[in-house]
Chain A
Amino acid sequence: MTLAVVLPVVGAGVDELVGSGLRWAFAIAAVLGAALGAAVCPQAGRLWVITAPPLVVAVVTVVAGVLAGTASLQGSKGLYTSAVRWAVDGFPAMAAAEVTVLGVLAVRVILSERGGKKHGA
């Protein structure tokens, strides 16, 4: 589960080092982290895995923006512009990670139902 958080952080670090802002490395890492989290989580933790991608991606995007110095936090205008920028930059990774989580969990549910039927038979 830790990987689900660490991977997006590493992806963001790679993107910022390359200097292109948050792009492919971040998005791919977020999707991988989400897939791993969804694949190994216990049944009781599924809700947390479903809710995690938007929050994790948002936090990583904001922290990366602040650390990279690409965000202006001066005044309400600067903050507003930065917030829009974070939302625009983070949404593709966020949406992709969320879709991945739902997809992996759906596969797990289908597989467990099939397994149950086989046992029943």
Chain B
Amino acid sequence: MSVLVYINSAHGIGKNAFETVTYGKKLGDVTVVTNGNVDDASLAKLGEYGASKVLVDKALVDADDQQLTRLIANAADQVGANTIVFSHDHVAKNIAPRLSVRLKAGLVSGAIALPDADGTIKVNVFSGKAFGSVKVNSARKIISLLPNSIQPESVGGSAVIEAFSGNAGDAKVKVLSTKQPEGDIPLPEAELVVSAGRGLKGPENWGMVEDLAKALGAATACSRPVSDIGWRPHHEHVGQTGIAIRPNLYIAAGISGAIQHLAGVNGSKVIVVINTDPEAPFFKAADYGVVGDAFEVLPKLTEAIKKFKASN
């Protein structure tokens, strides 16, 4: 089976790309298509995770949704791909639906696993409160894979890198400027996340959340009330009306754990809850709990992490 994987190289080639190629490799022979300013050495790494070929259109920079749709559709036709895989990020949300209509290929968005024996694919639904199994009825299918759903597996291969002209046409959506993420790690892709809520009492107290995140190498997140009152930026809001994340570790301080918040985080592998109230509902969803004041516990945890990192 021929599988086409689209890799967005805007922030270089990293974990998300390796996850997506690993997923594709388990379905068939993987060709990657990508675009923009990306060096061949980075692209060659995709071979280690199972890509046999990389098609790259380096001239296509700041591409819009219609250009990328044409690029990927043309690549899919060239390699005769019957499955196209994306990482379910902001770029995929922009182009995978277009591609679905263009190719009349059923789109499975937010996939969290490989297809089951019956061919259905498990996705997150109800903002993380449930899973659904999606059957694709068309001959071609498009799968948009949620970050952190599969471990990248190095298979030690190598990829042929080929220049590819996507015949993408002109951009209608013009990019004026791009503000890079504030932290180093974009929240949806982060493996470790430190999050805090109203229990922190004010935006001036976020230093200790950031200190812990820095010590861990984690991204920061927050609850809805905190983003609604403007203590933290909207893009940090996790929960039913924010974003759903599935990190390996989610540390929540001063968040009571309303059902809407839990929806966004219960895909996390391990949850640590720090709260003064032993009756906080979040403890029911937690693996580890600390009943205590975040103002005391967070700095202590940061110190303990630093000590651990220094000796490991």
Q: Do A and B bind each other?
A: no
